[in-house]
A and B are shown apart, each in its own frame.
Chain A
Amino acid sequence: MNQIGKCGTLLIVEDNEALLETYKDLLELEGYEVVTAKNGQEALKALEIIKHPCLILLDMFMPIMDGWEFLDHLKLRSEDLITSLPIVICSAAGASAEEASKQVRGYIRKPADIDLLLDTVKKFCRPSVAND
């Protein structure tokens, strides 16, 4: 927890706990630092602590605050926040999610292939602990 806020932390926003846990385990296993949020609201709170995550992996369909609302909130805070923050949408929502992904850095079609997921993360983040 003391590493929160340090550059190189991943923020994963996903409402499905099993999937969230899986992403977290997988990425931690690869040596990344991971912070999780179960919806847009939690993600906004987490962003108050980790100001500059190396990547936000964003699900779109979530209760309380979904991915679209989350992006709208970011835009409200500051117009360039959405472009300065590295966000990759990871969703099964199809066209609507792909449309939203045009304003961010990327899109991963769910179900995510492990190699594609790791390759994407590798582009934005550097593991803090050497793996293997």
Chain B
Amino acid sequence: MNSESKNKSSILIVEDENIVALDIEQGLKRLGYLVSGIVNNGKDAIKEATATKPDLILMDIQIQGNMDGIETADQIQKLLNIPVIFLTAYADEATLQKAKVVGPYGYLLKPFEESELHTAIEVVLQKHKTFSAKETLSKEALALSEERFKLFVDFNKEYALYMMDKEGNVVSWNAGAERIEGFTSDEIIGKNFSIFYSEEERQSGRPEHDLAIAKSEGKFEEENWRYRKDGTKFWASTVITALKDKNGQLRGFGEVIRDLTSVKLNEENLQKAIIARDEFLSIASHELRTPISVLSLQLQMAQREPEFKIDGKHSSRLEKSLLIAMKQVKILENLINELLDISRIQAGRLEIHTVKTDLSKLVADVCHDFEDAFNSANIQLECDLQDRVEGNWDSFRLGQVVTNLLTNTLKYAPGKPVKIVLRSIKHMAILTVQDHGPGIPHELQSKIFQRFERASSPSISGLGLGLYIARKAIEAQGGAIEVESEVGKGSLFKVTLPLNRQEEELL
């Protein structure tokens, strides 16, 4: 009997009609179940269930006392986690819906057959067993995950992670917070987080302000200098998150801080290095320019010197020397000017002085200056320039642009014809320079307008600044420069400039 009763499921019957209760008891016994008790009201049902812990409760919905079966089942579920089967004579929807909310495992409509009772009990017991097993598992998993999370937070040294109550009083403190802020958890828990702000910030209400932002926006984020317990400062990346429950009620705040001092210092050092480089560039090019201009003037003077002239002409050897020296001085001058321009562009000081300029004449003049160079590079230069293309431009800068484009054809496309076309279309001047050199691979085409970028092998001379300066000079005048190029076929550089910027902007 004893061993038998161990395998039998025990069932509590809650039923206020005695005859029905006894009838059910008989049936259960016949089916091999153990009846742990029979009660007729909710209060006794809870007492009995607590005492005997039955495997299942058969619960009549209409019972004595001020709790009905549904309420009683609800209480028992909360306290004891025992499955319930409702027994009811009424199949009305409202009652069934109410019963479902409580979460019964099943219900039987009275009167029922013994076999129906049997099936219902077995199904519910099986369901309950599976459910309980799952619940145990997930509870264990949750506990494990919570433990892991706690370890992760507590022992994380990279991030200061701490929580505060609604008023900003610290309630938790991890190892990272101790490392970064310098306070141990004993020193800080219970203190207000305003302690992390400077006296000045506290006076101006910064701590309250930051919490208010976190509360209204969900989070508050900033990067700034913060002070450790010992008064030393560190560059902190801070996020304060408002912790709200599912009803939107504020429960407190979580704060995450990273010490980014070394990143910040690196950044600052980098900035300083860039500024120092640009200053150096500016000073160096200025310093280089003075002796070069003296050299240039002296050479030009020598070229005019009557003492060296024989029959009003220089001796051809001396003339050649002076010519070569002068050419080299020009090259030096241009290199120095490029460096100076770069330092000006970097400092945002590329000056544009616009005057009424005939681009046609300007291009023709530059082409004329290049005649000898093109001849010796065996380049046939074709100029197709529309007459009088006038606009308000910086003639010095445009001369520089055309010079840079022609210098590039000399460097990259010797021995092949070059064509320059100038047209005025609507309110724009369009200048194109077409060569038949090696062309520029597609992926390099946007790079060539950047600083220190060249599409070529290092065997070609130059600083890689020409097109960058050209682009900056053109953009500063409201224009644009672009390239179309195909490897093996050549390149076409196209400059577009508004004829009159003011008018252009007014239109």
**Which residues of B274-325 are within 8 A (CB) of A?**
286, 289-294, 296-298, 300-301, 304-306
In the complex, are the beta carbons of A22 and B294 less than 8 A apart? yes
A-chain residues with CB within 8 Å of residue B293 when the two chains form the complex: 19, 110-112
Query: Is B6's CB within 8 Å of the partner chain A?
Result: no
Q: Mark B69-94, 1 if CB is under 8 A from A, else 0.
A: 00000000000000000000000000
Q: Tell me if B306 and A132 are in contact (CB < 8 A).
A: yes
A-B contact count (CB 8 A): 47
**Quick check: A18 and B296 within 8 Å, CB to CB?**
no
CB-CB nearest in chain A for B298: A22
Query: Chain B contacts of A132 at CB under 8 A?
Result: 306
| Chain A positions 95 through 120: 1 when the CB is less than 8 Å from some CB of chain B, otherwise 0 | 10010000000000111101001000
Interface contact A26-B306, CB-CB below 8 Å: no
The residue that B294 contacts in the complex, of A19, A94, A117, with Cβ under 8 A, is A19
Residues on B with beta carbons closer than 8 Å to the beta carbon of A83 = none
Please name all residues of chain B whose beta carbon is closer than 8 Å to the beta carbon of A94 when the two chains form the complex.
344, 349, 351
Q: Does B333 interact with chain A (Cβ within 8 Å)?
A: yes
CB distance from A84 to the nearest CB of B (A): 27
B-contact bits for A16-29, CB 8 A (1 contact / 0 none):
10110011011001
Nearest Cβ distance between residue B397 and chain A, in whole angstroms?
Answer: 12
Q: Do residues B296 and A111 form an inter-chain contact, with CB atoms below 8 A?
A: yes
Output the nearest chain A residue to B297 by Cβ-Cβ distance: A22
Q: What distance in Å separates the Cβ of B400 from its nearest Cβ neighbour in chain A?
A: 12
A114 touches B306 (CB 8 A): no
Q: Is the CB of B304 within 8 A of A18?
A: no
B353 within 8 A of A: yes
Chain A, residues 66-93, CB within 8 Å of chain B (1/0): the string is 0000000000000000000000000010
Evaluate contact between B289 and A95: CB separation under 8 angstroms. no
Looking across the interface, which residue of chain A has its beta carbon closest to that of B351?
A95
Number of interface residues of A (CB under 8 A): 19
Closest to B353 in A: A98
Q: Tell me which residues from 1 to 27 in chain A have a Cβ below 8 Å from any Cβ of chain B.
A: 16, 18-19, 22-23, 25-26
Do residues A26 and B297 form an inter-chain contact, with CB atoms below 8 A? Answer: yes
Complex: A98 Cα to B298 Cα, angstroms: 26
Pairwise interchain contact A22-B290, C-beta atoms closer than 8 A: no
Chain A residues near B289 (CB-CB < 8 A): 92, 110-111
- A92 contacts B286, C-beta separation under 8 Å: yes
Q: How far is the CA of A83 from the CA of B71 in the complex (A)?
A: 106
Tell me the complex Cα distance, A112–B294, Å: 9
Expressed in whole angstroms, the minimum distance between the Cβ of B291 and any Cβ of chain A is: 7
Distance between B331 CB and nearest chain A CB, rounded to angstroms: 14
Residues from chain A with Cβ under 8 Å of B297 in the complex = 19, 22-23, 26, 111-112, 114, 117
* Cβ–Cβ < 8 Å partners of A95 in chain B: 349, 351
Q: Smallest Cβ distance from A85 to chain B, in angstroms?
A: 24
A22-41 contact mask (Cβ, 8 Å, vs B): 1 or 0: 11011001000000000000
Do residues A26 and B301 form an inter-chain contact, with CB atoms below 8 A?
yes
CB contacts (< 8 Å) of A26 on chain B: these are 297, 301
Residues of A within 8 A of B301 (CB): 22, 25-26, 29, 114
CB distance from B462 to the nearest CB of A (A): 20
Of B290, B306, B353, B396, most A-chain CB atoms within 10 Å: B290
B351 contacts across to A, CB distance below 8 A? 94-95, 98
Bound-complex Cα distance A110 to B290 (A): 9
Known: A19-B297, A29-B304. 6 other contacts (CB 8 A): A22-B294, A26-B297, A92-B286, A92-B290, A95-B351, A112-B293
Q: What are 8 inter-chain pairs, A to B, with CB distance below 8 A?
A: A22-B301, A25-B301, A29-B304, A92-B289, A94-B344, A110-B293, A111-B333, A112-B297
